[in-house]
Protein backbone atom coordinates (compact mmCIF):
# COMPACT_ATOMS: atom_id res chain seq x y z
CA UNK A 1 0.00 0.00 0.00
CA UNK A 2 2.49 2.67 -1.19
CA UNK A 3 0.06 5.59 -1.13
CA UNK A 4 -1.68 6.80 2.03
CA UNK A 5 -4.33 9.47 1.73
CA UNK A 6 -6.25 10.90 4.66
CA UNK A 7 -10.03 10.51 4.61
CA UNK A 8 -12.09 12.82 6.83
CA UNK A 9 -15.71 12.11 5.87
CA UNK A 10 -18.14 9.81 7.65
CA UNK A 11 -18.73 7.61 4.60
CA UNK A 12 -16.42 5.85 2.16
CA UNK A 13 -17.41 3.45 -0.62
CA UNK A 14 -21.05 3.84 0.50
CA UNK A 15 -20.29 2.54 4.00
CA UNK A 16 -20.05 4.27 7.37
CA UNK A 17 -16.57 5.26 8.55
CA UNK A 18 -15.38 6.48 11.95
CA UNK A 19 -13.72 9.64 10.63
CA UNK A 20 -14.00 13.41 10.74
CA UNK A 21 -11.63 16.33 10.01
CA UNK A 22 -9.98 15.99 13.42
CA UNK A 23 -9.80 12.18 13.31
CA UNK A 24 -8.86 11.07 9.78
CA UNK A 25 -8.38 7.50 8.61
CA UNK A 26 -6.17 6.18 5.85
CA UNK A 27 -8.39 5.85 2.81
CA UNK A 28 -6.53 2.94 1.20
CA UNK A 29 -6.48 0.87 4.40
CA UNK A 30 -10.17 1.52 5.06
CA UNK A 31 -11.01 0.41 1.53
CA UNK A 32 -9.07 -2.84 2.02
CA UNK A 33 -10.96 -3.46 5.27
CA UNK A 34 -14.29 -2.88 3.55
CA UNK A 35 -13.36 -5.20 0.67
CA UNK A 36 -12.86 -8.08 3.08
CA UNK A 37 -16.03 -7.28 4.98
CA UNK A 38 -18.09 -7.24 1.78
CA UNK A 39 -16.42 -10.42 0.52
CA UNK A 40 -17.42 -12.31 3.66
CA UNK A 41 -20.95 -10.89 3.68
CA UNK A 42 -21.42 -11.98 0.07
CA UNK A 43 -20.04 -15.44 0.83
CA UNK A 44 -21.81 -16.34 4.09
CA UNK A 45 -25.40 -15.99 5.29
CA UNK A 46 -24.05 -14.80 8.64
CA UNK A 47 -20.82 -12.96 9.40
CA UNK A 48 -19.34 -12.32 12.83
CA UNK A 49 -16.79 -9.54 13.36
CA UNK A 50 -14.64 -9.36 16.47
CA UNK A 51 -11.87 -7.04 17.71
CA UNK A 52 -8.74 -8.34 19.42
CA UNK A 53 -5.79 -6.45 20.86
CA UNK A 54 -2.30 -7.98 20.88
CA UNK A 55 0.32 -6.70 23.33
CA UNK A 56 3.83 -7.61 24.41
CA UNK A 57 5.16 -8.27 27.93
CA UNK A 58 6.35 -4.91 29.31
CA UNK A 59 9.91 -6.18 29.76
CA UNK A 60 10.22 -7.53 26.21
CA UNK A 61 12.44 -5.70 23.74
CA UNK A 62 10.63 -5.53 20.41
CA UNK A 63 12.17 -5.16 16.97
CA UNK A 64 11.35 -2.48 14.43
CA UNK A 65 9.38 -4.88 12.28
CA UNK A 66 6.16 -6.87 12.36
CA UNK A 67 7.69 -10.35 12.41
CA UNK A 68 5.80 -11.52 15.49
CA UNK A 69 2.36 -10.38 14.37
CA UNK A 70 2.93 -11.63 10.81
CA UNK A 71 3.89 -15.08 12.09
CA UNK A 72 0.99 -15.13 14.54
CA UNK A 73 -1.62 -14.04 11.99
CA UNK A 74 -0.44 -16.70 9.53
CA UNK A 75 -0.68 -19.39 12.22
CA UNK A 76 -4.05 -18.07 13.43
CA UNK A 77 -5.44 -18.30 9.91
CA UNK A 78 -4.20 -21.90 9.67
CA UNK A 79 -5.74 -22.75 13.05
CA UNK A 80 -9.11 -21.32 12.02
CA UNK A 81 -8.97 -23.30 8.78
CA UNK A 82 -8.29 -26.52 10.70
CA UNK A 83 -11.28 -25.73 12.91
CA UNK A 84 -13.45 -25.30 9.80
CA UNK A 85 -13.85 -21.54 10.30
CA UNK A 86 -13.60 -19.42 7.16
CA UNK A 87 -12.20 -16.00 8.05
CA UNK A 88 -10.53 -12.88 6.76
CA UNK A 89 -8.15 -11.09 9.12
CA UNK A 90 -7.21 -7.42 9.29
CA UNK A 91 -4.51 -6.06 11.58
CA UNK A 92 -3.05 -2.64 12.35
CA UNK A 93 0.10 -1.61 14.19
CA UNK A 94 -0.10 1.26 16.67
CA UNK A 95 2.74 3.03 18.47
CA UNK A 96 2.66 6.61 19.64
CA UNK A 97 4.50 7.32 22.88
CA UNK A 98 5.39 3.85 24.16
CA UNK A 99 8.58 1.92 23.41
CA UNK A 100 6.52 -1.04 22.24
CA UNK A 101 3.92 -1.30 19.51
CA UNK A 102 0.61 -3.04 20.01
CA UNK A 103 -1.72 -4.45 17.39
CA UNK A 104 -5.42 -4.45 16.67
CA UNK A 105 -6.86 -7.43 14.80
CA UNK A 106 -10.37 -7.80 13.41
CA UNK A 107 -11.33 -11.38 12.54
CA UNK A 108 -14.21 -11.43 10.04
CA UNK A 109 -15.63 -14.93 10.42
CA UNK A 110 -18.30 -17.22 9.04
CA UNK A 111 -21.00 -16.41 11.57
CA UNK A 112 -22.52 -19.88 11.25
CA UNK A 113 -19.37 -21.26 12.90
CA UNK A 114 -18.57 -18.49 15.40
CA UNK A 115 -21.13 -17.47 18.02
CA UNK A 116 -18.88 -15.19 20.09
CA UNK A 117 -15.31 -13.98 19.96
CA UNK A 118 -14.02 -15.77 23.08
CA UNK A 119 -13.31 -18.98 21.18
CA UNK A 120 -11.33 -17.16 18.51
CA UNK A 121 -9.56 -15.07 21.16
CA UNK A 122 -8.53 -18.29 22.91
CA UNK A 123 -6.95 -19.66 19.73
CA UNK A 124 -5.14 -16.41 19.06
CA UNK A 125 -3.93 -16.02 22.65
CA UNK A 126 -2.34 -19.48 22.60
CA UNK A 127 -0.58 -18.79 19.31
CA UNK A 128 0.56 -15.29 20.31
CA UNK A 129 1.84 -16.57 23.66
CA UNK A 130 4.04 -19.12 21.91
CA UNK A 131 5.22 -16.49 19.43
CA UNK A 132 6.38 -14.08 22.15
CA UNK A 133 7.43 -16.81 24.61
CA UNK A 134 4.88 -15.86 27.28
CA UNK A 135 2.45 -17.83 29.40
CA UNK A 136 -1.08 -18.09 27.93
CA UNK A 137 -2.37 -17.15 31.39
CA UNK A 138 -0.84 -13.70 30.89
CA UNK A 139 -3.57 -13.00 28.30
CA UNK A 140 -1.62 -10.68 26.03
CA UNK A 141 -4.51 -11.06 23.59
CA UNK A 142 -7.79 -9.60 24.78
CA UNK A 143 -11.07 -8.93 23.03
CA UNK A 144 -12.61 -5.48 22.81
CA UNK A 145 -16.42 -5.43 22.51
CA UNK A 146 -18.18 -2.77 20.41
CA UNK A 147 -20.48 -1.76 23.28
CA UNK A 148 -24.08 -1.13 22.27
CA UNK A 149 -23.83 -2.83 18.85
CA UNK A 150 -22.47 -6.08 20.26
CA UNK A 151 -23.76 -9.58 19.67
CA UNK A 152 -23.52 -11.31 23.06
CA UNK A 153 -21.43 -8.22 23.91
CA UNK A 154 -18.40 -9.56 22.02
CA UNK A 155 -18.76 -8.50 18.39
CA UNK A 156 -21.05 -7.54 15.52
CA UNK A 157 -23.16 -10.11 13.66
CA UNK A 158 -24.49 -9.49 10.17
CA UNK A 159 -27.35 -11.74 9.07
CA UNK A 160 -27.79 -11.45 5.33
CA UNK A 161 -31.57 -11.79 5.47
CA UNK A 162 -32.05 -10.01 8.77
CA UNK A 163 -34.04 -6.81 8.95
CA UNK A 164 -30.96 -5.09 10.40
CA UNK A 165 -28.45 -6.46 7.86
CA UNK A 166 -27.70 -3.09 6.25
CA UNK A 167 -27.43 -1.37 9.62
CA UNK A 168 -25.06 -4.00 10.95
CA UNK A 169 -22.94 -3.82 7.81
CA UNK A 170 -22.52 -0.09 8.38
CA UNK A 171 -21.86 -0.69 12.09
CA UNK A 172 -19.12 -3.19 11.27
CA UNK A 173 -17.47 -0.89 8.72
CA UNK A 174 -17.59 2.00 11.19
CA UNK A 175 -16.13 -0.13 13.98
CA UNK A 176 -13.37 -1.68 11.90
CA UNK A 177 -12.29 1.63 10.40
CA UNK A 178 -10.76 2.37 13.81
CA UNK A 179 -7.85 0.21 12.67
CA UNK A 180 -7.18 2.64 9.80
CA UNK A 181 -7.05 5.78 11.95
CA UNK A 182 -4.07 8.06 11.37
CA UNK A 183 -3.64 8.78 15.07
CA UNK A 184 -1.50 6.41 17.21
CA UNK A 185 0.82 5.44 14.35
CA UNK A 186 3.37 8.24 14.75
CA UNK A 187 6.24 6.01 15.92
CA UNK A 188 5.95 3.43 13.17
CA UNK A 189 9.53 2.87 11.94
CA UNK A 190 10.41 3.86 8.39
CA UNK A 191 9.60 1.03 6.01
CA UNK A 192 7.51 -0.86 8.59
CA UNK A 193 3.98 -1.77 7.58
CA UNK A 194 1.13 -0.21 9.53
CA UNK A 195 -1.48 -2.70 8.27
CA UNK A 196 -1.87 -6.29 7.16
CA UNK A 197 -4.67 -8.12 5.39
CA UNK A 198 -5.24 -11.76 4.54
CA UNK A 199 -5.69 -12.33 0.84
CA UNK A 200 -9.11 -12.57 -0.76
CA UNK A 201 -9.21 -15.69 -2.97
CA UNK A 202 -9.25 -14.94 -6.66
CA UNK A 203 -12.54 -15.70 -8.39
> In which band, very low, low, confident or very high, does the pLDDT at 2 lie, cut at 50, 70 and 90?
low
- Which one is predicted more confidently, 144 or 158? 158
pLDDT value, residue 150: 54
Q: Is residue 202 part of a domain?
A: no
Contact partners, residue 181, CB within 8 Å, separation at least 6: 18, 19, 23, 24, 25, 26
In this structure, of 1-5, 78-82, 134-138, the range with the lowest mean pLDDT score is 1-5
| Count of domains for the chain | 1
Instruction: Write the DSSP assignment of 21-46 as a string of letters.
Output: TTB-EEHHHHHHHHHHHHHHHHH-SE
Q: Cβ distance 196 to 66 under 8 Å?
A: yes
pLDDT of 103 over the 90 cut: yes
Residue 134 domain-assigned (yes or no): yes
Q: Residues 6 or more apart from 132 whose CB is under 8 A from it? A: 56, 57, 60, 68, 140
Q: To the nearest whole percent, how much of the chain has pLDDT over 90? A: 80
Residue 45 near residue 203 (C-beta atoms within 8 A): no
pLDDT of residue 202: 86
Residue 11 lies in a domain: yes
- Whether pLDDT at 119 is above 80: yes
203 belongs to a structural domain: no
135 part of a folded domain? yes
96 or 108, which is more confident?
108
Report yes or no on 1 lying in a domain.
Answer: no
User: pLDDT at position 147, please?
Assistant: 63
pLDDT at 80: 98
Rounded to whole angstroms, the Cα distance separating 65 from 184 reads 16
Which residue segment(s) compose the domain that 11 sits in?
A: 6-58+66-197
Say if 28 falls within a structural domain: yes
Domain membership of residue 80 (yes or no) is: yes
Mean pLDDT, all residues of the chain: 92
CA distance linking residue 68 with residue 179, whole number of Å: 18
Amino acid sequence: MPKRHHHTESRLNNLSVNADPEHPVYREATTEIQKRLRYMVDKHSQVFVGHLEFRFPPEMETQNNNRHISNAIRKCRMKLKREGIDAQLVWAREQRNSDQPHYHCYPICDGNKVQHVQRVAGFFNEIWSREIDASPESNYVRYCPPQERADNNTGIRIRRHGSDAETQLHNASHWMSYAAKVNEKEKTPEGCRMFGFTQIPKA
